[in-house]
Chain A
Amino acid sequence: MLLIWLLACADKPAAPCLEGFERGDGGNCEATAAQDTGDDSAAPTDDTGGATADDTGADTAPAADDTGGSSSDDTGPDDTPPGLPQGFSSGDPIRTVDSVRPAIDDNPHNGYESVDTIILEDRYAMSVGQGGWVLTDLDSGALLDAAQVDRGYYITLDEESGFVWVSTRQYGIYSLNVNDLSNVTMERDTWRPSEGGYSEDISVQGGRMMVSSSSGVSFFEMGSSGRPDEVSWFPATQAVGAAIHGDRALFTDGYDLVLLDVSELADPAELDRVTLGGKGHDIAFDGQHVGVALGGYGFAVLDVEGDALIDRGDFETPGSCFSVALDGDYLWAAAWEQAVLAWAGEGDAVVLGHEPITEYGLGIAASNGRAAVADWFYVTTMIQEPEVGGPELDVSDKLTMNPEGDSNILTFRNAGAQTLEITLSQPDDEAFSITETELVIEPGRSAFTGVDFSGGQTSTELRYTSNDPDETSGAVILSSAQTSVGSPHPDMELLGILPPDDNQTLYNLQDQTGSVVLLVYFALY
């Protein structure tokens, strides 16, 4: 049980707050100053980002007072709503155009996977993953073409040569000739940087290439033919994200973001290093604005000013965030559950809105107000409404409870730039009840309702309405868990292998009664 929540009152607003919390101006239970740590930027430990008491009201995203757009003095003559950048209006900033699932050999059960994507000719998106590459139209979202090539994890475009470079991790790097999109060819042999192990992220700009691996980053001069010429190496302890632009290069090194001067590519020099709010993954960098995906801790917005990195804030995402993309002053982020659009231009960085995706957001690219999401076995295309933002509701779609009876909390977060108002209805199933029916949440803050469950095997909907323009109504499934600590593990019989042998055999958990069994669920990402 997460915590003991006493359903002390049905009469609002007298419901008690947990120890360490107090009712704020909006009537919500919020962390007291002592608990609102504000130190989430430190290297995280086990902060799940979920519905724990310590998290509530202690978010890393800028609070309303921090956004600089919340006072009347700041809004200016155009009456910009609080929290939004100057001149923006209230509304839903993202619309999904289409989401397509490319099939291999027209077999609907055998699809192309997409884990990273780029924009070509400001018109197409090329995505890679297990299976090969997929080409979609950036305006219509339609599937245009696909072909089987080596599995790719990261993809980048060399705009000068018209070659696309793909990092495969364990097998190195190869290129695709995309100068004629009706005849895309896998052009060059797979190769690896001389230093480091698996190749991770890859970035090409201005005739130079940067490749990260776990033990450092490699720099290359792009030749006219053949593989690039390796000219230098910069050591790291856990490099993943890499981005080069002009005479500056960035890479993530565990929880650090490192800025290098690469004006002398043969001798890269460290200029600055900052600690991120989570372990760094993908980087977007246009020479000034920087976005960094932080896995379970969302994403960070920074600027490069001369020789320094300027922190502009961290932002939580719905699910882990592994990819970011810049489109002018806008930053897009792909999270497991939704795509996120943020403002990275002048003034305060703020999240403008979220948009649901089909499966899992793994990679993202954007250009001129359109975005393509590498959405695991889908490619999802989105379009942006310029200079628009609003409140943004972020809540789990389900809450499971101990079938023996349980009390829990359900956290609602406002990830957007305007005040979020939510009305909750008591569940129809009397086995469930909630403590709060009205929540008012300032930008970047969270609030929760207690959920009490008397027990049994049942489920119901907790319905709500909100002023989030793209989520005016919704429901959270409340259900008793089928499997929890103390209950018998269900009968489990699954096919499996014993590497390196790829012969599949049946593994039956019940056959192991009398032994202690550790099950570790995982995916390759």
Chain B
Amino acid sequence: MLVWLVNVGEDLADVNEYMIESGITLPVLSDPDGEFYNGYHREPAPGPFPVDVVVARDGTIAYLTNAYDATALRDVIDAELAE
């Protein structure tokens, strides 16, 4: 399984500084104009982030939310990994 962080609209050099400070070593992609971020169908939420997307092995979207729910996310990932 792969975890990609996708930053929206910020300078990757600044993002890298934050990642180093935080000890995070996951790949960080840049969606500078929000092209992909704005393309998802999702319900209104109190804030713009985070948006979590699980892409299944066949490339379809298995899960999409902007209301962080660790339990639901874990359940979806477990189910997709079992496929």
Taking Cβ atoms with an 8 Å cutoff, the residues of A that contact B are 2, 46-52, 130, 151, 170, 295-297, 319-320, 336, 360, 396, 400-402, 481-490, 492, 494-500, 502, 504, 507, 509-510, 512-525
- B11 lies within 8 A of A130 (CB): yes
- B12 lies within 8 A of A504 (CB): yes
Number of residues on chain B facing chain A (CB within 8 A): 63
Q: Which of A481, A523, A524, A525 contacts B40 (CB 8 A)?
A: A481
Chain B contact surface mostly: mixed
With A490-B39, A516-B2: A522-B27 Cβ-Cβ less than 8 Å: no
Measured CB to CB, the nearest residue on chain A to B51 is A521
Chain B residues contacting A513 (CB-CB under 8 Å) are: 57-59
- B67 lies within 8 A of A48 (CB): yes
Q: How far is the CB of B80 from chain A (nearest CB, A)?
A: 5
Chain B residues contacting A516 (CB-CB under 8 Å) are: 1-2, 54-57, 62, 77, 80-81
With A484-B64, A521-B37: A489-B50 Cβ-Cβ less than 8 Å: no
Q: How far is the CB of B53 from chain A (nearest CB, A)?
A: 4
Complex Cα gap A514–B12 (Å): 28
Chain B residues contacting A488 (CB-CB under 8 Å) are: 59-61
Q: Which of B29, B43, B58 contacts A495 (CB 8 A)?
A: B29
- A524 lies within 8 A of B15 (CB): yes
Q: How far is the CB of B13 from chain A (nearest CB, A)?
A: 6
With A488-B59, A499-B19, A502-B13: A515-B2 Cβ-Cβ less than 8 Å: yes
- B57 lies within 8 A of A514 (CB): yes
B5-31 to A contact mask, C-beta < 8 Å, 1/0:
111111111111111110011111111
Complex Cα gap A316–B29 (Å): 33
Q: Give the top 3 A-B pairs by smallest Cβ distance, nearest first.
A: A296-B46, A50-B44, A481-B41
With A49-B46, A130-B14, A507-B27: A484-B5 Cβ-Cβ less than 8 Å: no
Complex Cα gap A359–B63 (Å): 28
Ordered by A's residue number, 28 sampled pairs between the chains whose C-beta atoms are within 8 Å are A46-B69, A151-B14, A170-B17, A170-B21, A320-B46, A336-B47, A336-B48, A402-B41, A485-B41, A485-B62, A485-B63, A489-B55, A489-B59, A494-B31, A494-B36, A500-B20, A516-B1, A516-B54, A516-B62, A516-B80, A516-B81, A517-B4, A517-B54, A518-B52, A519-B55, A521-B36, A523-B10, A524-B15
Chain B residues contacting A297 (CB-CB under 8 Å) are: 46
- B47 lies within 8 A of A483 (CB): no
Complex Cα gap A442–B30 (Å): 43
- A510 lies within 8 A of B4 (CB): no
Q: How far is the CB of A332 from chain B (nearest CB, A)?
A: 20
Complex Cα gap A521–B33 (Å): 13
Measured CB to CB, the nearest residue on chain A to B47 is A320
Chain A residues contacting B18 (CB-CB under 8 Å) are: 170, 524
Q: How far is the CB of B14 from chain A (nearest CB, A)?
A: 6
Q: Which of B1, B16, B31, B67 contacts A518 (CB 8 A)?
A: B1
Q: How far is the CB of A489 from chain B (nearest CB, A)?
A: 5
- A496 lies within 8 A of B14 (CB): no
Complex Cα gap A489–B27 (Å): 19
Measured CB to CB, the nearest residue on chain B to A482 is B39
- B14 lies within 8 A of A484 (CB): no
Chain A residues contacting B37 (CB-CB under 8 Å) are: 521
Q: Which of A2, A517, A523 contacts B9 (CB 8 A)?
A: A523
- A522 lies within 8 A of B36 (CB): no
Q: How far is the CB of A5 from chain B (nearest CB, A)?
A: 14
- A46 lies within 8 A of B20 (CB): no
Complex Cα gap A46–B11 (Å): 30
Chain B residues contacting A502 (CB-CB under 8 Å) are: 12-13, 16
Q: How far is the CB of A398 from chain B (nearest CB, A)?
A: 10
Chain A residues contacting B4 (CB-CB under 8 Å) are: 496, 507, 517-520
Q: Which of A401, A495, A497, A510 contacts B16 (CB 8 A)?
A: A497
Q: How far is the CB of B83 from chain A (nearest CB, A)?
A: 8
Q: How far is the CB of A186 from chain B (nearest CB, A)?
A: 19
- A295 lies within 8 A of B58 (CB): no
Chain B residues contacting A484 (CB-CB under 8 Å) are: 40-41, 61, 64
